[in-house]
Structure 1
Amino acid sequence: MDVRLDGRVAVVTGGSKGLGLAIATRMAASGADVVMLARNPDGLAAARRLVEPTARGRVHTVACDVSRAEELEGAYDDVLQALGRVDILVNNAGVSQTGAFTSITDAVWQADLDLKLFAAIRLARLAWPGMVERRWGRIINVLNTAAKAPKAGSAPTSVSRAAGLALTKVLAGEGAPHGILVNALHVGLIDSDQWVRRHADTDDGQPYAAFLAEMARSIPLGRVGTPQEFANVACFLASDLAGYVTGTSINVDGNLSPVT
């Protein structure tokens, strides 16, 4: 199946590494003009060098903390000046922050919601009028499987991600009459920077491959997923091939989650 995004403009938050970088790379290779948003200018420059060799469209970067409303508005203006519009929005920015409920302060709750929920709300609100006018749009909210099946000790991440799932369904209903399709992708155990960091933090001398293999024991498919596999699903949802898919939430997790 040849998934094409020629002529589309895609914005990917958290686009300088991990899943965001994989999504940006896949969409650029499929013909989209791609904008990567992230906080670190040096990281963005490095990401751009990785994406450009296989890109069939333009690659643009904007340094921005998406959890800050004023920075987000300025970044969106930058995108419009550079590329004219936004057709595809991938709300991917976020980190997995968890702890015992009584240890989570108001400040931590607010920071998590600002990064994972309000950033998605604000960006969707900025992109919405143009999508309505053109009667075509795609919004993909990257969540995790805890949004559907939260465990003890999984807050604040599971709570903000669950709110993102509700947002997905609301926007899908409002967007459908205007040709705007909104879906959620739920991350399971995918080989990404967060696991590289966690492996480094263990400092027990275990090779990274063995670390991943240990995690894979809990996965029915028997292995950890790759960023490219996740990006393939996102690229499909962004394309015309998925023209009748909206309001869905898809687990990319090797059947790890007990909830479909």
Structure 2
Amino acid sequence: MNITLDGRSALITGGSKGLGLAMALAFARAGGNVALVARDQGGLDEAKAQVQAAAPQAKVAAIAADIRSAEGCRDAHGKAEAALGQVDILVNNAGTSQRGPFLDVGDELWQDDLDLKLMAAVRLCRLALPGMRERRWGRIINVLNIGAKAPLATSTPTSVSRAAGMALTKALANEFAPHNILVNALLVGIIESDQWVRRHATDKRNLSWEEWKAEQGRSVPLGRIGKAEEFAAMALLLASDAGGYVTGTAINVDGGRSPVV
């Protein structure tokens, strides 16, 4: 099956590295245009060059914005529309894994996590949905993690904000399905990304990257951690017409690791 985006334009938050960059590459290679949103302009410029080299025909925008604020969301969406003409596909991917013992996590960390993972998605959806509704075509993909369904001990605040993102996904899917706008969530397990590279870097056992990956993979039924390209392939399906009958679902992309389907 040849999956194409046929000139559709996507805004991807957290788009300069890891899963965001992998999705941008997949979308652009499939004929889409992409606006990469992150805070670091240097990282964005490198990512833009990489995407443009992989898909010379694609329009690629690199937008530095802090989407933890309403102003930052408006800035990101406005610049994406100016660069690409419209936003057909919104991928809410920005986020870090903020977690710790519940009694040690204060209000400031809770608020920061909710602003980045939940309120940014709420605000960007609010900005993108009117145009999608007018054109009667749209895709929203919320990137969460498997803790949204099966939170572990010491997983707050990230598991709570991700669970809220799953509820947002279902509510929007039900409301906007009559307008041919599909809203889904992809739940990450252990997948090669910048976040896991950072975790490896802080491990004091002097394991090589390959040794460390093999160790992490032992907790996954498939016996390995995932690749960013595998995650991006699922996102591409949901972003395309090939995924036209899938909405309101939260799909685990985790090699079978989650105890909840």
Tell whether the structures are fold-level matches, with TM greater than 0.5.
yes
Three-state SS of the structure 2 residue aligned to 1:255 is coil
Q: Report how many aligned residue pairs link the two structures.
A: 260
What displacement does 1:205 show? 1.5
Tell me which residue corresponds to 2:236: 235
Q: Aligned partners of 2:4 and 2:133: how far apart in 1? A: 22
Three-state SS of the structure 2 residue aligned to 1:138 is strand
Identity, % of aligned pairs? 59
Three-state SS of the structure 2 residue aligned to 1:205 is coil
What displacement does 1:195 show? 1.2
Tell me which residue corresponds to 1:29: 29
Q: Aligned partners of 2:206 and 2:259: how far apart in 1? A: 32
Tell me which residue corresponds to 1:38: 38
- Matching of residues 1-260 of structure 1 within 5 Å: 1-55=1-55, 56-260=57-261
What displacement does 1:81 show? 1.5
What displacement does 1:53 show? 1.4
Q: Aligned partners of 2:159 and 2:51: how far apart in 1? A: 31
Q: Aligned partners of 2:223 and 2:199: how far apart in 1? A: 20
Q: Aligned partners of 1:156 and 1:98: how far apart in 2? A: 6
- TM-score by length of structure 2 reads 0.98
- TM-score by length of structure 1 reads 0.99
Query: Amino acid of the residue matched to residue 220 of structure 1?
Result: P
Q: Aligned partners of 1:224 and 1:241: how far apart in 2? A: 27
Q: Aligned partners of 2:171 and 2:112: how far apart in 1? A: 23
What displacement does 1:204 show? 2.3
Three-state SS of the structure 2 residue aligned to 1:53 is helix
Q: Deviations over 1:124-161 (max 9, x none)?
A: 00001000000000000000000000011000000000
What displacement does 1:203 show? 3.1
What displacement does 1:213 show? 0.5
Query: Amino acid of the residue matched to residue 195 of structure 1?
Result: W
Q: Aligned partners of 2:35 and 2:78: how far apart in 1? A: 12
Three-state SS of the structure 2 residue aligned to 1:127 is helix
Provide structure 2 residue ranges, at least 5 long, that are not aligned to the other structure: none
Q: Aligned partners of 1:34 and 1:99: how far apart in 2? A: 35
Three-state SS of the structure 2 residue aligned to 1:165 is helix
Three-state SS of the structure 2 residue aligned to 1:49 is helix
Q: Deviations over 1:87-135 (max 9, x none)?
A: 0000000001110001111010000000000000000000010000000
Query: Amino acid of the residue matched to residue 9 of structure 1?
Result: S
Q: Aligned partners of 2:137 and 2:76: how far apart in 1? A: 22
Three-state SS of the structure 1 residue aligned to 2:192 is coil
Query: In angstroms, what is the RMSD of aligned CA positions?
Result: 0.7
Q: Aligned partners of 2:157 and 2:75: how far apart in 1? A: 28
Q: Deviations over 1:59-102 (max 9, x none)?
A: 11100111111121122111122222100000000001110001
Q: Aligned partners of 2:85 and 2:60: how far apart in 1? A: 14
Query: Amino acid of the residue matched to residue 248 of structure 2?
Result: G
